[in-house]
């Protein structure tokens, strides 16, 4: 039976006319689910077809305007009319919810997905949306001995971004002592550091959050950086972990002691003093995108004006009326350009390669009053809405990234990938009238070969402003006046913004990490060839766990929040395995590690981003994909559900 959490929603006090108006703005699939929860009548599922996954590219090509889930306007009106009747009865019954048995719950899942789900996928979804209110991802010890040992198992967490705060919350819930070391002055990680104009997340906010702590008050569907940082900060407060964070402190090195089977973690504190912390385990939550990478251009330091990285945007700087150059055309530049174009006297964008983008009409939109109302007041609407966002972002997309060996084309890797290329191209072409500009912005590599971006038209509109110029010539050097391109032209500017990415292939950089028998992680990995089992554990480095480590970046598998929860779930169960069995340390077996990474490399090589014809930040300088997870999210969830003791040596 599904035990409803009646206190999880606020009372509906609005009048029917107001409710009717708001229902028209909601997500139809989630609304249908809420109807069943309020009425207890699953037969209503026969009134409408199952929702269809129609991405925004496909939707833009439809001759008839479709609502979310592929519903027609008429079907949407029918859903809203019936929902209003059900809400009326629900309120007349004092907002009491009928209990739904497992058979009805299975019907709801099958309806939402449009087909019968196997038991494993069903279990995965049930855990993710937790309709029964039970959080299955926390750590629970099976024995009193394990709980007692937990109190003597100190953990050092490095980083207070999404992953670090999540790990801290889970450890506190389990009664495991911990300290979080954070180099910045506040919680947020990348969302604290990146506060350039226009900075926002490119997955829906209602999915970019912890499953156990939904946020119904996002201002925008795709929240701005400050709102995301504030969310993680509020989570740290609400779950009582902020007092465990040492801000303005940085881990210099961490060494595993073979005798004590513990880690010695050297920390440079806010006053510049060094302190050594002893820990039974170390969790690295520094992520992949935490060390800005400035371009290696001759004369960079000779520029007379301000030159800075987009991830180190100076507080209070104003570029209004300035002549500005932006180096780079990736995700950060994509967000920065439309904002700077509004006020700069002139804006020159130096592009190395164009980016694929798909249309998203709500990318800059604020969350409607109706949506906030439904998330807070319609039973289970928020759960199913989160699931819908999650489901549509992963299903039907993954296969479009895989290489068909019988497909031979320079700018696509399969028929379905080429179909997407044509749709994306048509959308880009529809916004441009200048053939010369179109030639510059239209990519000639397969979709998903580089990070694919989204826009509501503002980026391409910005490129067509009179004060904006897109340049594709290479930069030969920088001098005091500006940038000199390979054609010999000098581009005089007042400010240079480097939107040139991060040292994404230098995991745990610049910390010095030493494992068993004095083995240096930098030697084992090399400068930029990080490998880990499941992206989390590394042979010769016992009880060292990585969140968002090598080969865990998501390209088409939904929100990174889902991935972080899978990783923290696995790490917690590794700790439980140690404590329940009275072990001191666990060390990943080399053969297990190598076999896993061989599989990772093979699958990555068969994707659009792994193609040897494509260069991107996902690869190191040897051409190996070090960043991306090549599996579906359901596969990774299964892999990280429980650690297999046979994968490790124990001491």
pLDDT of residue 57: 55
Contacts of 536 (CB under 8 A, 6+ apart): 545, 546, 547, 549, 552, 567, 570, 571, 640
393/454 same-domain check: no
CA distance 431 to 443: 15
Q: Are residues 104 and 2 in the same domain?
A: yes
Nearest to 162 by CA among 565, 626, 573: 565
CA distances from 487 to 295, 329, 496, 646 (A): 19, 20, 19, 60
d(CA 59, CA 441): 22
Out of 3-17, 165-179, 531-545, pick the least confident: 3-17
Same domain, yes or no, for 591 and 537? Answer: yes
Residue 1 — very low, low, confident or very high, per pLDDT cuts 50/70/90? very low
Question: How would you classify the pairing of strands 482-485 and 475-478?
Answer: antiparallel
Report which of 120, 121, 72, 65 is spatially closest to residue 394, judged by C-alpha positions.
Answer: 121
* 186 in the same domain as 170: yes
* Cα 285 to Cα 564: distance, rounded to the nearest angstrom: 10
Residue 377 falls within a domain, yes or no? yes
Does 631 lie in the same domain as 587? Answer: yes
Query: Residue holding tokens 């389990």?
Result: 174
pLDDT of 557 > 80? The answer is no
Residue 454 lies in a domain: yes
Does residue 269 share a domain with residue 156? yes
Residue 138 belongs to some domain of the structure: no
Q: Residue 134's pLDDT is what?
A: 82
Q: What whole-number distance in Å separates Cα of residue 345 and Cα of residue 320? A: 7
Q: Say if residue 3's pLDDT is above 70.
A: no
Give the confidence band of 289 by pLDDT, cuts at 50, 70, 90. Answer: confident
453-455 and 357-359 strand pairing = parallel
Q: Is residue 650 part of a domain?
A: no
Other Cβ atoms within 10 Å of 173 Cβ, number? 17
Residues 40-56, mean pLDDT to the nearest whole number: 87
Q: What is the pLDDT of residues 239-288, one digit of tens each?
A: 999 999 999 999 999 999 999 999 999 999 989 999 999 999 999 999 88
Output the DSSP codes for 385-432: HHHHHHHHHHTTTGGGGB--TT---SS-SSHHHHHHHHHHHHHHHHT-
Domain assignment of residue 464, yes or no: yes
User: Could you give the CA distance from residue 354 to residue 506 in angstroms, rounded to a whole number?
Assistant: 25
Strands 245-246 and 178-181: parallel
**What's the CA gap between 595 and 646, in Å, rounded?**
14
Shared domain for 246 and 339, answered yes or no, is no
Measure the N-to-C terminal CA separation of the chain; round to a whole number of Å.
Answer: 43
Measured between alpha carbons, how far is residue 12 from residues 37, 67, 100, 375, 382 in Å? Answer: 15, 25, 22, 12, 15
Tell me the two tokens of residue 138. Answer: 């926390």
Residues 596 and 511 grouped into a single domain: yes
Residues 470 and 591 placed together within one structural domain of the fold: no
The number of folded domains in the chain is: 3
**Do residues 513 and 609 share a domain?**
yes
Partnered with residue 276 across adjacent β-strands are: 266
Residue 626 has pLDDT above 80, yes or no: yes
- Residue entry with tokens 């610049």: 510
Residue with structure tokens 């599989």?
599
Report the distance separating Cα 149 and Cα 579, nearest Å. 6
- Residue 235: alpha-carbon gap to chain centroid: 17
> Do 476 and 342 share a domain, yes or no?
yes
Rounded (5°) CA angle 347-348-350: 150
Tokens 């400068």 belong to residue: 527
* φ/ψ of residue 201, rounded to 5: -80, 155
Mean pLDDT of the chain: 93
Q: Is residue 466 part of a domain?
A: yes
Asked whether 549 and 284 are in contact (CB, 8 A), the reply is: yes
* pLDDT above 70: residue 189: yes
Segment holding 490, helix H or strand E: strand 490-492
Query: Would you say 179 and 277 are in contact if contact means Cβ atoms under 8 Å apart?
Result: yes
Percent of the chain with pLDDT over 70: 96
In this structure, the answer to whether residues 374 and 492 fall within a common structural domain is: no
Per-residue pLDDT tens digits for 327-380 = 999 999 999 999 999 999 999 999 999 999 988 889 999 999 999 999 999 999
Q: Which residues contact 237 (CB under 8 A, 6 or more apart)?
A: none
Query: Going by DSSP bridges, is the β-strand pair 346-350/468-471 parallel, antiparallel, or unpaired?
Result: parallel
Report the pLDDT value the prediction gives residue 5, as an integer from 0 to 100.
45
pLDDT of 2 higher than 50: no
Residue 428 lies in a domain: no
In the listed set 459, 476, 498, which residue is the last one of a domain according to the structure? 498
Domain ranges, residue 533: 144-291+504-644
> Does residue 327 form part of some domain?
yes
Domain holding 333: CATH number?
3.50.50.60
Q: Pick from 440, 475, 498: which residue ends a domain? A: 498
Find, among 165, 216, 156, the residue nearest to 192 by Cα.
Answer: 165
């Amino acid at each position: 039976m599904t035990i409803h959490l009646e206190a999880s929603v606020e009372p509906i006090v609005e009048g029917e006319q107001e409710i009717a108006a708001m229902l028209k703005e909601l997500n139809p699939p989630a609304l249908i689910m809420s109807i069943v929860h309020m009425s207890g009548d699953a037969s209503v599922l026969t009134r409408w077809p199952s929702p269809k996954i129609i991405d925004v590219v496909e939707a833009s090509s439809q001759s008839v305007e479709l609502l979310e889930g592929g519903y027609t306007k008429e079907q949407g009106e029918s859903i809203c009319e019936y929902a209003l009747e059900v809400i009326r009865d629900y309120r007349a019954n004092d907002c009491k919810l009928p209990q739904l048995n497992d058979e009805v719950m299975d019907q709801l899942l099958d309806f939402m997905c449009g087909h019968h789900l196997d038991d494993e996928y069903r279990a995965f979804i049930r855990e993710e949306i937790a309709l029964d209110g039970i959080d299955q991802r926390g750590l629970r010890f099976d024995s009193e001995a394990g709980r007692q040992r937990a109190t003597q198992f100190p953990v050092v967490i490095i980083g207070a971004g999404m992953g670090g705060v999540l790990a801290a919350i889970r450890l506190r819930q389990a009664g495991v002592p911990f300290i979080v070391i954070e180099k910045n002055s506040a919680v947020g990680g990348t969302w604290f550091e990146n506060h350039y104009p226009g900075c926002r997340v490119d997955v829906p906010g209602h999915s970019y959050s912890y499953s156990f702590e939904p946020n119904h008050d996002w201002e925008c569907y795709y929240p701005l950086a400050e709102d995301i940082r504030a969310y993680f900060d509020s989570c740290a407060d609400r779950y009582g972990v902020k007092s465990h964070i040492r801000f303005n402190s940085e881990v210099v090195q961490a060494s595993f002691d073979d005798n004590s089977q513990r880690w010695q973690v050297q920390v440079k504190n806010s006053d510049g003093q060094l302190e050594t912390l002893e820990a039974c385990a170390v969790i690295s939550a520094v992520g992949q995108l935490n060390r800005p990478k400035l371009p290696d251009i001759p004369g960079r330091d000779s520029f007379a004006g301000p030159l800075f990285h987009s991830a180190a945007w100076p507080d209070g700087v104003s570029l209004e009326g300035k002549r500005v150059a932006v180096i780079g055309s990736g995700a950060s530049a994509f967000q920065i350009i439309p904002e700077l174009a509004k006020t700069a006297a002139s804006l020159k964008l130096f592009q190395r390669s164009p980016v694929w983008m798909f249309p998203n009409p709500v990318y800059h939109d604020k969350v409607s009053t109706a949506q906030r109302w439904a998330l807070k007041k319609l039973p289970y609407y928020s759960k199913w809405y989160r699931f819908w966002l999650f489901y549509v972002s992963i299903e039907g997309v993954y296969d479009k990234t895989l290489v068909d060996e019988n497909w031979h084309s320079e700018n696509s890797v399969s028929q379905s990938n080429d179909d997407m290329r044509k749709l994306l191209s048509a959308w880009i072409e529809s916004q441009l009238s200048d053939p010369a500009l179109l030639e510059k912005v239209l990519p000639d590599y397969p979709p998903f070969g580089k990070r694919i971006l989204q826009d509501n038209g503002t980026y391409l509109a910005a490129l067509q402003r009179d004060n904006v110029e897109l340049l594709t010539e290479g930069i030969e050097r920088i001098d005091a006046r500006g940038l000199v391109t390979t054609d010999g032209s000098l581009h005089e500017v007042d400010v240079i913004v480097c939107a040139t990415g991060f040292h994404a292939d230098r995991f745990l950089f610049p910390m010095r990490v030493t494992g068993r028998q004095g083995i240096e992680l930098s030697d084992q990995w090399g400068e930029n060839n990080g490998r880990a089992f499941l992206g989390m554990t590394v042979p010769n480095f016992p009880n060292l766990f990585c969140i968002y480590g090598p080969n865990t970046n998501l390209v088409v598998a939904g929100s990174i929040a889902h991935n972080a929860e899978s990783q923290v779930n696995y790490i917690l169960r590794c700790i439980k395995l140690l404590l329940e069995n009275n072990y001191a340390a666990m060390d990943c077996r080399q053969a297990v590690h190598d076999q896993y990474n061989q599989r990772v490399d093979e699958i990555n090589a068969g994707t659009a981003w792994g193609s040897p014809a494509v260069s991107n930040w996902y690869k190191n300088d040897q051409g190996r994909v070090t960043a991306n997870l090549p599996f579906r999210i359901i596969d990774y969830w299964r892999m990280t559900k429980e650690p297999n003791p046979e994968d490790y040596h124990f001491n």
